Amino acid sequence: MVSFVPRSDLHGSVVASLRDLIVCGALRPGARLDEPSLCRSLGLSRTPLREAVKVLASEHLLTIVPHRGTYVTPVLETETTDVFEVMASLDSLVGSRLAHHATQAEIAAIATAQAEMAAHHAARNRILFFQINQQIHVALLAATHMPTLVHSYLPLLHKVRRARGLANISFDRQTQSLAEHEEILTALIARNEAALVRLLPAHTRMTARAVLSAMASCV
């Protein structure tokens, strides 16, 4: 029997793989996309890759220049500042929704991930700490059970993830971030809406300061 990957699954997989290459910095800002090389490394034909390119161009991670090619969109400090500010504004709604709509199973999963993140921090594993941190933020967003909010917020989260990946965030900031996450988890378990509405935007703004400071030092 011949097995195959459903087209919708393949499309999502290609988009995710290409997005990860951009976000983690494997494809550097300003670099021209080498389609033949990417097709070989990802085991794809050009059609699914080009479909993925269109999706990531809509997320502003790629820039398509007619007759010249596709380029990884540069990370701009001014744009990153704006993205963080929009996220912080949306975080108030995220916090309010979480207090009323997050399930016990979702809260338990976030608590488990939080413990895993703390273990990676203790081991000074920056990469795994960052990965779990991002998973927690996605889980918090999903637990709002508000599709319009999720679809509005996720592209911003990808942009922030990319900026954070390119900036070398200090261990001290990770320690502070972990403490902020613990406060958020405590408020989530208690379903303390007022605390969540306050803590989530504050956490985003503290992260913004650290990322923007790191970006400025790299110039």
Helix (H) or strand (E) holding 164: helix 147-166
Among 18-32, 138-152, 183-197, 198-212, the least confident range:
18-32
DSSP assignment of 115-141: HHHHHHHHTT-HHHHHHHHHHHHHHHH
Q: Which domains can be identified in the chain, with CATH numbers?
A: 7-72 (1.10.10.10), 77-217 (1.20.120.530)
**How do residues 78-109 score in pLDDT, each as one tens digit?**
889 999 999 999 999 999 999 999 999 999 99
Contact status, residue 129 vs residue 120, Cβ threshold 8 Å: yes
Place of tokens 């070989």: 40
pLDDT in tens, 117-138: 999 999 998 878 988 999 999 9
Answer whether 198's CB lies under 8 Å from 91's CB: no
**Which of 135, 23, 14 lies closest to 75, judged by CA?**
23
Q: Are 158 and 19 in contact (CB under 8 A)?
A: yes
pLDDT at residue 215 greater than cutoff 90: no
Lowest-confidence segment of 6-15, 113-122, 168-177, 187-196 by average pLDDT? 6-15
